Amino acid sequence: MNKSFSGVQGAVFQKSPLVTEGKNQWRLLKDGIHDPFRHFAVEEALLRGIDDGVTSPTLRLRQIEPSVWIGVYQYPDEDVDVNYCGAKGIKIVRRPNPGGAVYQDGGSFCYSLFCPKEFLFKGLNVREAEQLYPLIGKAVIETCRDFGVKAELSPVNDITIGGRKVYGSAQVEFYSAFVHSGTLLVKTDLEEMEKCLKPSRLKFSDKGFRDVKSRVINLCEAVGRDIEIAEVMDKLVSHMAELLQVDFYEAGLSAAEVQAADALYREKYAAPGWTFRKKDAHGVVVSTKARSGVITLEVSLEGDAIAGAHIKGDFLVPDQGELNRVMDDFKGKTLSGALEVVRSGRLPADVREALDELLNGIIK
């Protein structure tokens, strides 16, 4: 069976004896890629490599040129000032993982943990993907503590300082592979962030903030002095090694990973159709705020039957395949039948409850 990621077929790897699970060693990858399109091509190539058994468990660190990343279930014109970004030459790219639109520049850095899902979950003694947010978040909290700053978890996937967000994370499952990613704001241009992003009012409805700039904080601001990002990275790597009980060894991308990333760059991430995908027209559009983010459900009805359904927003769901299955299973069913599909599925509890609420709202 050919495997696909968000509906796009990717490169095929050949098996090779690269996996080093039993040695308790993970690769530390600092590939120096700054282009956001190529960055996500590498991310997907590594995730596919993990699933195919050709990529070692990896912690990847990177900094990206000024750009905006939207979640896989978002649309640029709904969450981003597309005209401003175009005028400033700021690239917009759709991530392969869920969550909200974020602004990136050289003042922030990101990491991704790539590993076989079963291996990672067993090693950290977790059963559900959502349990990883606070667990891995401890490494970020300890990193902030190294600089004399008290940070705390803000469920589901954020870490805050004095109530303002300094870090966010997201996850993706791809067959047997898993990736947990996070971004830490160190000295990001918050003025530029404010101009690039335009989140909905519903997003901030329960957070007590009216705009992006007042919602976030840089670690430098909290510390009260300039900090070298390399120093923050080193401390985070140290805490990750302690959390995972592994030793990191620095190594670059393999030839197979580079080849796969090149193909994904050309065929997917650098292609405008991936980020600026066409919207389908639907008759009923309803939204709500779930625990992990805003969810919008769009439904087209032909009589009592659902002709088509689409979901979008900045919510979190690591297993996109399950969500796609649920949306596909709506077709041809009544609204009550769609409720049964949701209730019998394996979606995260907050997404399941939100869809239940939205479908009931349409029924009423």
CATH of the domain at 351: 3.30.390.50
Q: Tell me, yes or no, whether 198 and 253 share the same domain.
A: yes
Q: Tell me, yes or no, whether 259 and 309 share the same domain.
A: no
Per-residue pLDDT, 289: 93
Confidence band for 280, pLDDT divided at 50, 70 and 90: confident
Q: Tell me, yes or no, whether 271 and 337 share the same domain.
A: no
Of 235, 251, 275, the position where a domain reaches its end is 275
What is the C-alpha separation between 200 and 294, in angstroms, rounded?
A: 9
Decide: 127 and 74 in contact? Cβ < 8 Å: no
Per-residue pLDDT, 206: 55
Per-residue pLDDT, 23: 45
Q: Tell me, yes or no, whether 51 and 118 share the same domain.
A: yes
Q: Tell me, yes or no, whether 108 and 219 share the same domain.
A: yes
Residue 304: inside a domain: yes
**Helix, strand and coil percent figures for the chain, each rounded to 5:** 40, 25, 35
Quickly list DSSP for 136-180: HHHHHHHHHHHTT---EEETTTEEEETTEEEEEEEEEEETTEEEE
Of 275, 310, 327, the position where a domain reaches its end is 275
Structural domain that includes position 316: 284-363
| Global pTM value | 0.87
Decide: 36 and 104 in contact? Cβ < 8 Å: yes
Residue with tokens 């909200």: 100
Cα–Cα distances (Å) from 58 to 147, 247, 292, in that order, read: 26, 11, 26
Residue 9: inside a domain: no
Residue 199: inside a domain: yes
Question: Residues 173-179: what's their mean pLDDT?
Answer: 96
Per-residue pLDDT, 18: 36
Tokens of 245: 């009980």
Decide: 141 and 204 in contact? Cβ < 8 Å: no
Q: Tell me, yes or no, whether 211 and 101 share the same domain.
A: yes
Of 253, 275, 297, the position where a domain reaches its end is 275
**pLDDT tens-place string over residues 128-160:** 999 999 999 999 999 999 999 999 999 999 999
Domains in the chain, number = 2
Q: Tell me, yes or no, whether 260 and 216 share the same domain.
A: yes
Confidence band for 203, pLDDT divided at 50, 70 and 90: low
Residue 105: inside a domain: yes
**pLDDT tens-place string over residues 285-328:** 999 999 999 999 999 999 999 999 999 999 999 999 999 999 99
Helix (H, G, I), strand (E, B) or coil at 14: coil
Residue 78: inside a domain: yes
- Which of 18-32, 63-77, 81-95, 140-154 is least confident? 18-32
CATH value at residue 245: 3.30.930.10
Cα–Cα distances (Å) from 231 to 3, 137, 238, in that order, read: 39, 18, 11
Q: Tell me, yes or no, whether 48 and 181 share the same domain.
A: yes
Decide: 221 and 141 in contact? Cβ < 8 Å: no
Residue 4: inside a domain: no
Q: Tell me, yes or no, whether 190 and 302 share the same domain.
A: no
Q: Tell me, yes or no, whether 254 and 303 share the same domain.
A: no
Residue 75: inside a domain: yes
What is the C-alpha separation between 112 and 96, in angstroms, rounded?
A: 13
Per-residue pLDDT, 276: 96
Q: Tell me, yes or no, whether 66 and 148 share the same domain.
A: yes
pLDDT at 256 over 50: yes
Q: Tell me, yes or no, whether 293 and 271 share the same domain.
A: no
Please name which of 323, 288, 296, 269 lies closest in space to residue 37, comparing C-alpha atoms: 269
Residue 258: CB partners within 8 Å, gap ≥ 6? none
Residue 10: inside a domain: no
Decide: 52 and 78 in contact? Cβ < 8 Å: no
